[in-house]
Structure 1
């Protein structure tokens, strides 16, 4: 029997006023898959990610996360499901004037009481787990560094460590390499793939860089004007498919 999909979309459309961001999209993503979302700007990649992490609900159709239909959940149950999906944002969403350990510990916020979270700002809690996560992303020595004194690449790793502390079933990454140089891009993509391989977590990444999608992901979903143009194993994506995706 095949495992329950981590994510499933059935006939999903998403509209914002007169603008249709996604139209009649259906897909299923299984546990442990590494999936790249590619396509021109405005294709609907970020909207699709926001549906997968439960921060957006569809206008029509069904979105199921870990067997739970998001549209039917109460706000409390939706938050519980959202804690099982970690998102690495392009802007990192870090608090610059705090030490790295505090930003990493933000991954615990769904589990910690308010009192514990506030006390941790005075006397950091969960230090060992934070240190382990920073070791996993290659910046173990930055535990007590002030976050805004780190390089952009290091801050990106802090954001990823925060997600690891959250310990979700799946990791979503929205354009994680759009603002870094090719060498750092390769390092970050290799790190994401390695983390997926070692932890078994599902990985869904939106990318502009097609070569990184082909090299580091197993499956590629091509989006154009809010529609899924193709959904195929990375090894089967042809030049003709790419040309139709990015045609002017």
Structure 2
């Protein structure tokens, strides 16, 4: 029985075939579908964004010269600190963002391990607890104000009940407003909406990706943010990435910035 365990463990994880490279979870070894690999020159100039398939696979023909790359996946961090060496027993050669020569590397040996984010930090847990307690207090306060107004329709009870009603109406209004507010991503070349653009919402302090969306057929999207300051990053395989600073806001809100993206011009010789 003991000899069966290694086989059983590996049978749940897809194993890549060359010349594919894979973006994968460094802890579970599972591939991450629809992740993005950004290929750049050693000076940081964008060459292309490559979207991995449903099995985390991506491939490209690297141009000559000194190159570098980055792996992007929602709720994951690159480069990995869990897989720290240049070799993974399961995937083989791995890549951590270092500069490489396009003539000698890039076909099947760019496997990118990424580390999962720990989003349940003490600050986030505290915020959730405070929010939950506040909702309970508000609920019982509303019920009590209605009962008090019914039992004793004095002006002060009526006033308090009306205030609760105003707050509830505002909450309903903003919920509806949030449901209909969308950001639009369009091409700066022809003004047309761009579908299948990845939008990453990144915490400005920690650098962690806190939310991700893909634009729909009409180029629309929504992202949801807790209080804080963020960086909004838009990525597509044929457009230059766009970064927008989202200023600090003390309340939960919807991110719906309109974004213009410029097509990548292939000026490589």
TM > 0.5 fold call:
no
- Greater share of residues in helix: 1
Point out the structure with max Rg over C-alpha.
Answer: 2
TM-score by length of 2: 0.29
- Greater share of residues in strand: 2
TM-score by length of 1: 0.30
Specify which structure has the bigger relative contact order, considering alpha-carbon pairs within 8 angstroms and separated by 6 or more residues.
1
